[in-house]
Chain A
Amino acid sequence: MGDSLITIVAIALAAILMFIFPLMSLSERNDDISQLAVQTATTEFVDKVKTTGKLTLDDYQQYINTITATGNSFQVELQIQQLDENPGSKTTQAEQTKIGENVYYNKYTSQIETDLAKNGRITLKEGDIFATTVKNTNLTIAQILRNFFFMVSGNDQYEIMGQDAGVVAVNGSPR
């Protein structure tokens, strides 16, 4: 009786040790690699926009293809902040000792995607800010296993995330 109980415990332990543990470790590594690939792709994408001054549909599609190649589904958030120096120049013109503030106008993902679908490209100018944030929306194997074993609650937690932003360095050419 006592022996068989120990055997069952040993088999369960062996199963965890020999199967679950390596699987968890591997799936975690897999997520790390995905995370890295996504972060690299995001940085490259944002860098390209920053150094060319334009966001093209081609580049955007390619970026989406690269990140989805990791086998996960993603939510991509884009943001363009357009620099407007007009309020500043109005202040200066009225009172020469003041510079006045610059204002940024924001454009978000849905507006940007509409513009891209319509024109194929968005031109930016020097001083604008471009930001991209991407999070996975599916549950990765590592997340499922972790939720199961550690009882981590909440399914909306993301595991893979890429984020980059920066000031556009050049004026994009119109065509």
Chain B
Amino acid sequence: MKLQHLAIIFVIIVLPITLIMSQYIQGQMETIRLQASYQKALNTATHDALTAFQVNSINNGYSTISDSKIRDVEASINTFYTSLNTLMNNYASDRSVLENFIPAVVFTLYDGYYINSSYENTYEEVNKQVSINEGNKKFQEGLHPYIYYSCKYNLNGKTIIVNYTLDNAITVFGDFGEGYETRSGYFIDYKKVTNVNEGAKTLTYDGVQIGPETLSEQLLIQQGDDAYSTDFKLEEYNYIIYDGQKIYDDGGKYFIYDNYKKRYLESATKDVEKYLAEKSTGNFESSSAFNYYYEAAEFSKWVEDKLGRITQKNVIKMEDGITPIGDDTEYLSVNTGNEHIFDISNNDPLVYGSTFNSHRMAVIRKSIETNLLTALANFQSDLSAYEFTLPVIDEENWYEITNKVSIISFMQGLPIGMKQFNGYSVISNTRNGEVIGKENIYIITNNLSTGEREYHLAGCNKLYEDSNLKPESAYQNMSFLRQTVKIGEEPMAYFYLQGKNPIPITACYSCVVSANSTYPEDEIIEGKITKMDWKSGNKTIIADTSNSKFSEVRKLYMTALARERYDAYQVNMESMNVKAN
């Protein structure tokens, strides 16, 4: 054969191979490119949804009422779909197409969670009658009923239910020998509460003196009677929280901030005075921090007395609701062995690594996993034959989910060239009205040399290094967000609740702005801050309670954390503390 023939045969063989290979690689590349871009779209859409929830819950004064919360969640889901579709270059003509690939969106809130997924809703109508035919089930996308972070325990043959939350508040249901009881409260180390003076509303918690405090913030008040007036004035008032509402003191007259005006209390003034006399010192001061520790100590004592012997062996399986897990150490993600969950010896519920907290996170995780598995397995898609399953979620993501308000979204079965997309996204958030996390408390300092005021995270380095900074007060992070005054649809003016007119309180550059150089809040609660050498893991103590500056900051922090948690909406817990007859 001639050389030319060989060359032609070579070309005939090699050319198709090259062409097919290049086509295949192009296809693979397109697949991976789409996968990355859809994952990004999912992350961004989830973030947008959470931002929408944050904005709605901050500006909705009624967001704690369940109906109103459903509205906020549904609005947030709408945002999720709109944002997702836009980010995917208008992949779908409308939301219902996308719904086929989103098997679940989970909203984890303070004491429970919503799953948005498909559920069977209606049966078909045949001859003007409902045809109950399993084959004709109609599926519809929507919110499943709210699920509490609850766990059942078998204690001496009786079933007890404990509802957990994202912090240390719990609700206990059960029969402890005197009929069914329901009690709610914050679970703390009650042995740390000492020197209680009920009259003066003071006590000591772990060496920190807790007492009444004066709270103040500034408001932008619309002047005159005209609802469309653009004349605003910034004024500072003291406030307390009564019945979930801020009541301001205007020289002995009380008012609430309503539609940018002062609405003075008429007959309710007596109720406020009664509340101040009972729950505080009688003066216009907040004793919420005292009440928090005082009530929590009483509740915790009761919990330890009734539930103190419970270990993880008493946990009843969520799948069947009958069998205790016993010696199954794999059932929960954290194995706490024989440690007593509600016994507070060496188990401070406020601290991250405590048995109570580890168990709480494990139970919340199990509850979400169990319900998500079901939701995903039952998911019906008209457009995809994909087998929807729960992917493995990172440990780090679980930490976020069990400690902060978050949204978990799943997208599966979407064709992306050579395979089908399977991804999830977890986004969490600390700026919302739902939960007061440990990192939500800001400390306000006054710089003694310049007179400037700054707000810091409680673990900020600068607080302990700069001797000019004098810690003054502490509030939760929502008080430092910009508030918008709207008249009609137009934003008219803006202001900050925390500020000293005319100078604002600015964010500290070492902790809030650069988000770096901070000590963990847990260390402040435990009473000593350490610097960790990240290579060796060795910790050197920077300051402990013998340091006066640290003690000062810790006092503000512990007081503010208690006060803000007590004043958050869920704390009308007393009304829940009932005993069945």
Interface residues in chain A, defined as those with a beta carbon under 8 Å from any beta carbon in chain B:
10, 14, 17-18, 22, 25, 29, 32-33, 36, 39-40, 43-44, 47, 50-53, 82-86, 88-90, 92-94, 96-99, 105, 115, 119-126, 128, 166-167, 169-175
Which residues of chain B from 46 to 70 have a CB within 8 Å of any chain A CB? Answer: 47, 50
Q: Are the CB atoms of B439 and A173 closer together than 8 Å?
A: yes
Known: A22-B18, A169-B43. A51 touches B496 (CB 8 A): no
Q: Are the CB atoms of A124 and B429 closer together than 8 Å?
A: no
- Bound-state CA distance A55–B409 (Å) is 23
Nearest CB of chain B from residue A108's CB, rounded to whole Å: 15
Q: Are the CB atoms of A92 and B515 closer together than 8 Å?
A: no
Q: Are the CB atoms of A174 and B36 closer together than 8 Å?
A: no
Q: Are the CB atoms of A123 and B36 closer together than 8 Å?
A: no
- Bound-state CA distance A43–B34 (Å) is 12
Q: Are the CB atoms of A170 and B40 closer together than 8 Å?
A: no
Known: A90-B504, A173-B439. A96 touches B232 (CB 8 A): yes
Q: Could you write out 29 A-B pairs with CB less than 8 Å apart?
A: A10-B3, A14-B3, A17-B7, A18-B14, A29-B21, A32-B29, A36-B28, A36-B32, A36-B33, A40-B32, A40-B36, A43-B39, A43-B40, A50-B43, A51-B427, A82-B513, A82-B514, A88-B482, A90-B504, A99-B494, A120-B535, A124-B515, A125-B515, A126-B431, A166-B44, A169-B47, A170-B400, A172-B515, A173-B520
Nearest CB of chain A from residue B157's CB, rounded to whole Å: 42
Nearest CB of chain B from residue A65's CB, rounded to whole Å: 19
Residue of B nearest to A14 (CB): B7
Q: Is B493 an interface residue (CB 8 A)?
A: yes
Q: Are the CB atoms of A123 and B516 closer together than 8 Å?
A: yes
Q: Are the CB atoms of B36 and A86 closer together than 8 Å?
A: no
Which residues of chain B from 1 to 56 have a CB within 8 Å of any chain A CB? Answer: 3-4, 7, 10-11, 14, 18, 21-22, 25, 28-29, 32-33, 36, 39-40, 43-44, 47, 50
**Residues of A with C-beta under 8 A to B32:** 36, 40
Nearest CB of chain A from residue B39's CB, rounded to whole Å: 7
Which residues of chain B from 474 to 522 have a CB within 8 Å of any chain A CB? Answer: 482, 485, 492-496, 499, 501-504, 506-507, 509, 512-516, 518-520
Residue of A nearest to B504 (CB): A93
**Residues of B with C-beta under 8 A to A167:** 47
- Bound-state CA distance A52–B396 (Å) is 8
Q: Is B425 an interface residue (CB 8 A)?
A: yes
Q: Are the CB atoms of B22 and A25 closer together than 8 Å?
A: yes
**Residues of A with C-beta under 8 A to B3:** 10, 14
Inter-chain CB contacts under 8 Å: number? 132
Nearest CB of chain B from residue A8's CB, rounded to whole Å: 12
Interchain residue pairs A-B with the least CB separation, the first 8: A120-B534, A93-B504, A125-B515, A96-B493, A169-B47, A86-B506, A174-B518, A43-B36
Q: Are the CB atoms of A86 and B513 closer together than 8 Å?
A: yes
**Residues of B with C-beta under 8 A to A33:** 25, 29
Known: A10-B3, A40-B32, A82-B515. A51 touches B426 (CB 8 A): yes
Nearest CB of chain B from residue A145's CB, rounded to whole Å: 15
- Bound-state CA distance A35–B85 (Å) is 27
**Residues of B with C-beta under 8 A to A105:** 513-514
- Bound-state CA distance A133–B334 (Å) is 39
Nearest CB of chain B from residue A52's CB, rounded to whole Å: 6
Known: A51-B425, A89-B496, A89-B504. A29 touches B513 (CB 8 A): no
- Bound-state CA distance A89–B494 (Å) is 9
Q: Are the CB atoms of B10 and A18 closer together than 8 Å?
A: yes
Q: Are the CB atoms of B425 and A93 closer together than 8 Å?
A: no
Residue of B nearest to A119 (CB): B534
**Residues of B with C-beta under 8 A to A44:** 36
- Bound-state CA distance A26–B493 (Å) is 63
Known: A43-B36, A171-B515. A93 touches B534 (CB 8 A): no
Q: Are the CB atoms of B502 and A92 closer together than 8 Å?
A: no
- Bound-state CA distance A83–B43 (Å) is 20
Nearest CB of chain B from residue A50's CB, rounded to whole Å: 7
Q: Which of A17, A89, A92, A123 contacts B518 (CB 8 A)?
A: A123
Q: Which of A85, A121, A125, A174 has the most CB of B within 10 A?
A: A174
**Residues of B with C-beta under 8 A to A82:** 513-515
Q: Are the CB atoms of A92 and B14 closer together than 8 Å?
A: no
Known A10-B3, A25-B22, A29-B22; further 18 A-B contacts with Cβ < 8 A: A14-B3, A32-B29, A43-B39, A47-B40, A51-B427, A82-B515, A86-B504, A93-B496, A96-B493, A96-B494, A97-B492, A97-B493, A97-B494, A98-B494, A105-B513, A123-B515, A170-B400, A170-B429
Residue of A nearest to B505 (CB): A89
**Residues of B with C-beta under 8 A to A97:** 492-494
Q: Is B428 an interface residue (CB 8 A)?
A: yes
Nearest CB of chain A from residue B514's CB, rounded to whole Å: 6
- Bound-state CA distance A93–B14 (Å) is 73
Q: Are the CB atoms of B14 and A22 closer together than 8 Å?
A: yes
Q: Is B212 an interface residue (CB 8 A)?
A: no
Q: Are the CB atoms of A128 and B504 closer together than 8 Å?
A: no
- Bound-state CA distance A84–B512 (Å) is 9
Residue of A nearest to B234 (CB): A96
Residue of A nearest to B230 (CB): A97
- Bound-state CA distance A172–B7 (Å) is 62
**Residues of A with C-beta under 8 A to B112:** none
- Bound-state CA distance A44–B35 (Å) is 11
Q: Which of A10, A47, A126 has the most CB of B within 10 A?
A: A126
Known: A25-B22, A47-B40. A92 touches B496 (CB 8 A): yes
Q: Are the CB atoms of B11 and A17 closer together than 8 Å?
A: yes
**Residues of B with C-beta under 8 A to A175:** 520, 532
**Residues of A with C-beta under 8 A to B428:** 170
**Residues of A with C-beta under 8 A to B7:** 14, 17-18
**Residues of B with C-beta under 8 A to A83:** 513
- Bound-state CA distance A169–B43 (Å) is 9
**Residues of B with C-beta under 8 A to A52:** 396
- Bound-state CA distance A169–B427 (Å) is 7
- Bound-state CA distance A88–B519 (Å) is 27
Q: Is B103 an interface residue (CB 8 A)?
A: no
Q: Are the CB atoms of B515 and A47 closer together than 8 Å?
A: no
**Residues of A with C-beta under 8 A to B430:** 171
**Residues of B with C-beta under 8 A to A99:** 482, 494
**Residues of B with C-beta under 8 A to A29:** 21-22, 25
Q: Is B413 an interface residue (CB 8 A)?
A: no
- Bound-state CA distance A39–B29 (Å) is 11
